Structure 1
């Protein structure tokens, strides 16, 4: 028989999952066109970004799509061409800041080149984000509040660890790196974590473009006595929250969409385990 607290939690999880879907699964922004990189469909470029790259070498625009290819005769590799595109978008105010971080560009499941992180959304390119749902031995959850200086979702609550996978970076290596940067965790603290699992591919319209993102999550019970401490200044607060507090925060839209998806997935697994 399911206990009443677990039954109540399951009701919250199911309700929030149903309400989350329309908030994170959108059609591309109006007027966007498919972006084809090296012959492979890779993203959705916004009208504003299309206008900015119109006269660039290696770029061909049709009514149906925008095509980007290397130009060997001008010594323009795909990487260097994409770097030029990012620069032009930045000069024309299409980017939200400049991160000086490179991410992989994927097209039809294949890694094609790299690109400045800030340029991914205006081009609607796929990113991959790794998250850690960290639990305490008593069943409460470690959560982190995003810094007020963050460009996206400042001040919102988040999973303890979450970040984008860098260029040529293995998924597990990315999670270990982010776990130290955001929470000061060492690899030994994560030794009992579950394998990363893809929980969804998000398609969300943003002011600067289109977020197409694979969201991956791992769960871990941190050892007794381990207290996460932020290292990179991107988190303003880390604290433990009881399950009833987490449920209340979910219902109050206190978490980022990505964090909510990760937390709901983990809570659903726990509810199913309690049922079984």
Structure 2
């Protein structure tokens, strides 16, 4: 017996649930807006973990993508999905997640409402080999050098641009490195990111 197809909640432009549809209908029909959670996983040197999508993936196979990305299960919150996907894709558990921003992806293939979170992680990564061919940390300069070459997914390139814009609004103290925040207080991430994540 084959694996059951994933079912996504369909939402309106205000992110209110208006129905459900199988994955195969959502991918290919941009009128079916569905929800996705992303996590940007940084290390203490300010490099961003990216995953290389498996060549067997139905969307953007073989391209480098956001650290963590996955669709919400029916009834699941963005934060719950971010935690679950981080565990399923990278084997990372119990790490604080900081909400960054909401965004919308609209193209000829699909329409997604996205919530992006940030995590700081230095431990071992056990990626899901069925979905991910490789993971590695990239510096901002390395990412900049390969933008527009087809190495990254278009969605990651959009995500990176949004993150850079966000980080310019909340800069770090002079000389403290990459400007990231935790929660509502916006301290430098490198001071501490171990507090409650909600």
Could you tell me which of 4, 25, 41 is aligned with 1:119?
25
Say whether 1:182 aligns with 2:89.
Answer: yes
- Tell me the residue number matched to 2:70: 163
Say whether 1:134 aligns with 2:41.
Answer: yes
- Tell me the residue number matched to 1:94: none
- Tell me the residue number matched to 1:250: 147
Could you tell me which of 194, 198, 204 is aligned with 2:102?
198
Higher helix share goes to which structure? 1
Structure 2 stretches lacking a partner, 5+ long: 175-198
* Residues 1-276 of structure 1: pairs in structure 2 closer than 5 A: 100-107=5-12, 109=14, 110-123=16-29, 124-186=31-93, 188-189=94-95, 191=96, 193-199=97-103, 201-206=104-109, 211-222=110-121, 224=122, 226-231=123-128, 233-272=130-169, 273=171
Given that 2:9 and 2:35 are in contact with CA atoms closer than 8 Å, whether structure 1 keeps it comes out as no
Aligned residues: 169
Secondary structure of the residue aligned to 1:172 is helix
TM-score (norm 2): 0.76
* Bigger Rg, structure 1 or 2: 1
**Aligned-partner Cα distance in 1 for 2:173–2:21:** 46
| Alpha-carbon distance change, 127 to 218 in structure 1, aligned in 2, over 3 angstroms | same
* 1:163 Cα offset (Å): 1.0
* 1:160 Cα offset (Å): 1.1
**Aligned-partner Cα distance in 2 for 1:128–1:158:** 17
**Aligned-partner Cα distance in 2 for 1:108–1:99:** 28
Given that 1:131 and 1:175 are in contact with CA atoms closer than 8 Å, whether structure 2 keeps it comes out as yes
**Aligned-partner Cα distance in 2 for 1:251–1:99:** 36
**Aligned-partner Cα distance in 1 for 2:107–2:141:** 29
- Deviation sequence 1:27-86 (CA, Å, 0-9, x none): xxxxxxxxxxxxxxxxxxxxxxxxxxxxxxxxxxxxxxxxxxxxxxxxxxxxxxxxxxxx
**Aligned-partner Cα distance in 2 for 1:245–1:113:** 41
**Aligned-partner Cα distance in 1 for 2:74–2:87:** 18
**Aligned-partner Cα distance in 1 for 2:69–2:57:** 13
**Aligned-partner Cα distance in 1 for 2:26–2:38:** 19
- Deviation sequence 1:147-191 (CA, Å, 0-9, x none): 0011110000001100111211111111111101111110x22x1
TM-score (norm 1): 0.56
**Aligned-partner Cα distance in 1 for 2:128–2:62:** 17
Structure 1 stretches lacking a partner, 5+ long: 1-97
